[in-house]
Structure 1
Amino acid sequence: MEPLKEISQFLDLKTRLDLKAVALQHVLSTTGSLEGREILLGIPEILRQLVLLAQDSVVAVAKDAALSLVNISADEPGASALLVISETSKPSVNEKPSDNLIDVSLRYIMDKESTLADPFCMIMSNMSRSHGLVDRIIHLIEKSNYTWDALVAAFTAQKYNNKGANLHYLGPVFSNLSQSPSVRKYLMDKERCAIQRLLPFTEYAESIVRRGGIVGTLKNCCFDEEYHEWLLSDKIDILSHLLLPLAGPEEFDEEEQDKLPVDLQFLPENKERERDSDIRLMLLEALAQLCVTRRGREILRDKNAYVILREFHKWEKDKNVLLACENVVDILIRTEEEIGLDNLKEVEVPKKYHDHFQKMDQDFINDT
């Protein structure tokens, strides 16, 4: 720790460039190990200096500082420490750089000429990963000069950044922040149409990060039952976007085909299913949430979701995903009389049965 404390004196915007660069390289190297990051957490002033140096006019210095912050924010204690610094930041005076990392990240992300937009997207993704930090981050975002509309517009633009940044990591940011009801309320505001702009990215082949982030966002939105009928309506058609990544090139008979949503009919022979098992699992978890209400189940049956899941089940090899698929199918093939409840969340399962069912699921997954 003592060598790092000595180095700290050179981590200043006004320090001579060569000394500052060498000191920063040492800190960046230190952030590469868990032990090193833990040592840095004991020197909060260095964390603050990194936020300031990420705004250095020399791009190489700013980049090394930003990459250090990416590494530090990857652990929850680091993200929490950086958030505390952001929350206690004083408003900038005389155009001095800010030590509010959330505000700095947003500034870089929204700057179309920024070469560091992607590292700062990664910092935001890391910072927002812990559920316990989400509401505090949302508070800082809403105090900033940037709106949710602007963030969605930047993410969904065909080419937003002029320096080649792709902003893919905004996908996980939306997924993490949509753990909050307030963000889900914004995304499903019927006048803003934000969620409709995100839907196409469930099939975004160029980036698993962007694709997975948006699927996670949609899954979170499906937890709000009051929006289910709207989400499943023709205006939004979330069902097609959740089922399409699970669909393959199978042909169906005319009756089965006609009941499917238009976007799921007559898929090409080279149609591939989602390659990532974690994303496939999230898609099925979203469908399971839509099955919570009677109206949701009726719509999934009317739109023949079952036949897509039937063929998917034949193809799937991952035990966790298979179990999730079977859970959805089990609900869809039962009649409402058999289910006996409008809302499945009203079912109270005694703990002994709950534990028993969990063990059965685990045994299924572990059975090779």
Structure 2
Amino acid sequence: MPTELEELVEFLHSPQPAVVQISLDNLVGYSQGPQQLIFNHNNYEPIKDLKRLVRDKGKTMVNQSLTILVNLCDSLLIRKLLLDDDEFMTYLVQQIVNIQNSNADLMTILLTNLAKNDGINKILDMKVKHDEVNSKVFKSTKAIDCLMDLFVKGFDRSLNKYADFDYLAYFFADLSRFLEGRTYFITNQEYDEVVPLSKLLVFTEKYDNKIRREGVSSTIKNSLFDTNSHMKLLEDEKINLLPYILLPIAGPEEIDEDDMFNLPDELQLLPSDKKRDPLDAIICIHLESLLLLCTTRPGREYLREKAVYAIIKELHKATDNEEVAELIDRLVQMLQRDEAPEDADVDTDSDSDDEKVVEIV
């Protein structure tokens, strides 16, 4: 005989909405912890039911179905079942883009959870359809362009009064782990002639929103694994990447005048109440971005010209976090050592001055 829980999940495909609602009311609590295995019942039949119920017209039923799917996404297999369903994924993204959707944020969280799987790259080729309302907001039918617009323009609920789209920051961070994703973020887009990464930079100092800061800083870092793009991101005035990495790690300390006017304009003469990012974990991400910029000689020389060492030296004095201090030390070794002549042969066994440890002074 079926157990009580098995009966509950069987009720998900009842033809009677009231029965389905009772089932959902009870099952939400079982979507976390060891009891979530009940959703594997009968070869994952409950997952098929939940995907169908997400399309229901009842707000409560949709909300509960989404909540269960979000909670089940710690399972690699369930993520794959959802992600491999092209029709479901198209519907999910279409509904996130629907600026009248009251469940848009919950759907965004589900999409973000699914981005842990490699197959999320399919979204870069996905198109959405716009009704009369949406066509006034979006210039592109590419799903990724619309998601970018939602994140940038909808953060204050001005596009959708039910959604702030914060979790797209983590979605972008996961998407940028892949070559195709990185390429999107650093490439001028035809629909608005803007490099997508440049739209995200303003959120690196949004200290009242950890999700946006953390997701955007990770997207920046992941995009910098494309070393060929470094100088464009640094030198193109429309992007101007460096200040957005340095401002969150800069404090109120006075900088020597010799260094002050070599800093990017945005870092000069900071106010006495200037605050660093309050989270060491996010400061670490920015330091890792600077380390990535140091992987090419032109990048290192650019950071030296912009007196980056002056900023990280003050950060070193102010921090008591071991991971931050370790990253600073690695960065100092990259920035403060003398460069070998460009035509010199590299001797990996040499004890030359270039290999000596540089102290932070």
Q: State the TM bucket, normalised to the shorter chain.
A: 0.7 to 0.9
Q: CA deviation at 1:298?
A: 0.2
CA distance in 1, matches of 2:112, 2:321: 27
Contact 1:37 1:72 in 2 (8 A): yes
Tell me the equivalent position of 1:360: none
Aligned equivalent of 1:8: 9
Equivalent of residue 120 in structure 1, options 96, 107, 125: 107
Q: Where in structure 2 are there 5+ consecutive unaligned residues?
A: 129-141, 350-361
Any residues of structure 2 matched to 1:1-368 within 5 Å, and which? 2-12=3-13, 15-33=15-33, 35-43=34-42, 44-84=44-84, 86-87=85-86, 89=87, 100=88, 102-129=89-116, 133-134=117-118, 136-140=119-123, 142-145=125-128, 146-158=142-154, 159-190=157-188, 191-235=193-237, 236-337=239-340
How many residue pairs are counted as aligned between the two chains?
Answer: 327
Q: CA deviation at 1:45?
A: 1.3
Counterpart CA distance in 1 for 2:299 and 2:167 is: 31
CA separation of 1:125 and 1:347: change in aligned 2, threshold 3 A: farther
User: Is the CA contact 1:114–1:163 (under 8 Å) kept in the aligned structure 2?
Assistant: no
Unaligned runs of 5+ in 1: 90-99, 350-368
What is the alpha-carbon distance in structure 2 between the residues aligned to residue 325 and residue 50 of structure 1? 48
Retained in 2: the 8 A contact 1:178–1:221?
yes
Residues 347, 20 of structure 1: alpha-carbon distance in 2 compared, 3 angstrom cutoff: farther
Q: Normalising by structure 2, what TM-score?
A: 0.84
Q: Which amino acid aligns with 1:137?
A: I
CA shift, 1:216, in A, is: 0.5
- Structure 2 CA distance for aligned equivalents of residues 115 and 305 of structure 1: 45
Query: Which stretch of structure 1 is more off in the superposition, 204-213 or 75-84?
Result: 75-84
Q: What CA distance in whole angstroms lies between the structure 2 residues aligned with 1:341 and 1:103?
A: 54
| Identity level (%) | 29
SS in 1 for 2:261: helix
Within 1, Cα distance between the matches of 2:121 and 2:228?
23
Question: Equivalents in 1 of 2:186, 2:158: separation in Å?
Answer: 23
* 2:39–2:45 Cα contact (<8 Å) kept: no
Q: After TM superposition, give the deviation of residue 189 of structure 1 in Å.
A: 1.1
Alpha-carbon distance change, 339 to 252 in structure 1, aligned in 2, over 3 angstroms: farther
One-letter identity of the residue aligned with 2:224: C
Whole-Å Cα distance in 1 between the matches of residues 248 and 52 of structure 2?
A: 42
- The verdict on how the C-alpha distance between 1:338 and 1:246 changes in structure 2, with shifts beyond 3 A counting, is farther
Give the alignment's TM-score, normalised by structure 1: 0.83
In structure 2, relative to structure 1, the CA distance for the partners of 1:278 and 1:104 (3 Å cut) is farther
Partner residue, 1:363: none
Question: Deviation at 1:103?
Answer: 2.2
Q: Look up the SS of the partner of 1:164 in the other structure.
A: coil
RMSD across aligned positions (CA): 2.4
Worse-superposed segment, 180-189 or 241-250 = 180-189
